[in-house]
């Protein structure tokens, strides 16, 4: 079987991890061998599982951002497990470094089905990490939408809030959180915050 790269993307609360787990469950039913990785910085719900905002989970291995190589995967799971795997998946692809792109290409060359789920845009509306390149390299891209909390339209943006107001665009890019920090909004309801005042 030829390798392929699939990317699942969209804003916060659009169901990216739900869709990733749905695909992995189908592989498991077909008795395929799965390896799922998530970045070490994503510790919201569990250290050793990918967990959706609604509580569904799937066992996962931690992979440090910046160390996305075949050799590191072997260090984590062993050469045999990587060789036997039919699917290698990554959740929160946006939190990994650009090295994830070369790793995915190497895994596809090894005839693996590779699936990456991650945010396409930062809270400031900018392309997020390696996701734009992965989308360009992918054989298949699915862009999911959430529901805008303001008007109910399809949401494509992740609104970060600080004390109920839009976060300044120069705030730190990576901030792990859920509904206590982020809202899904459509393009019309999304608000860019003011740049933080530095003295």
Q: Which residues are catalytic?
A: 92
The residue range of the domain holding 22 is 4-145
Query: What CATH number corresponds to the domain at position 88?
Result: 3.40.50.300
Other beta carbons within 10 Å of 152: 10
CB-facing half-sphere around the CA of 119: CA atoms within 13 A: 26
Q: Is residue 199 part of a domain?
A: no
Helix, strand, coil shares of the chain, percent, nearest 5, are: 25, 30, 45
Instruction: Count the Cβ atoms, other than its own, within 10 Å of residue 183.
Output: 21
**Intervals of the chain under pLDDT 50:** 198-199
Domains: count for the chain: 1
- Residue 114 CA to residue 103 CA, distance in Å, equals 10
Cα(179)–Cα(32) distance, integer angstroms: 34
Per-residue confidence (pLDDT) for residue 197, from 0 to 100: 60
Asked, for residue 124, whether it belongs to a domain, the answer is: yes
DSSP state of 193: P
pLDDT at 2: 83
What is the per-residue pLDDT for 199?
A: 39
Instruction: Please report the pLDDT score of residue 1 as a whole number.
Output: 64
180 lies in some domain:
no
Would you state the pLDDT for residue 174? 75
pLDDT at 171: 85
Does any domain span residue 64?
A: yes
Give domain status of residue 38, yes or no.
Answer: yes
Domain presence at residue 166 = no
């Amino acid at each position: 079987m030829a390798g392929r790269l699939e990317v699942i993307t969209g804003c916060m609360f659009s169901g990216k991890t739900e869709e990733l787990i749905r695909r992995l469950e189908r592989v498991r039913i077909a008795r395929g061998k799965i390896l799922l990785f998530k970045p070490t910085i994503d510790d919201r719900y569990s250290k050793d599982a990918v967990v959706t905002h609604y509580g569904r989970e799937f066992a996962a291995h931690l992979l440090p951002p910046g160390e996305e190589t075949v050799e590191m995967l072997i260090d984590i799971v062993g050469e045999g497990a990587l060789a036997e795997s039919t699917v290698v998946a990554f959740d929160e692809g946006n939190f990994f470094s650009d090295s994830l792109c070369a790793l995915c290409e190497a895994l596809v060359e090894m005839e693996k089905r590779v699936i990456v789920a991650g945010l396409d845009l930062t809270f400031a509306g900018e392309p997020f990490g390696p996701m734009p390149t992965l989308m360009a390299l992918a054989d298949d891209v699915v862009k999911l939408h959430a529901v805008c909390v303001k008007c109910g339209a399809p949401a494509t943006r992740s609104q970060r809030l600080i004390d109920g107001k839009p976060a300044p665009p120069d705030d730190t890019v990576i901030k792990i959180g859920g509904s206590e920090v982020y809202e899904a909004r459509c393009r019309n309801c999304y608000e860019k915050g003011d740049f933080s005042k530095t003295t």
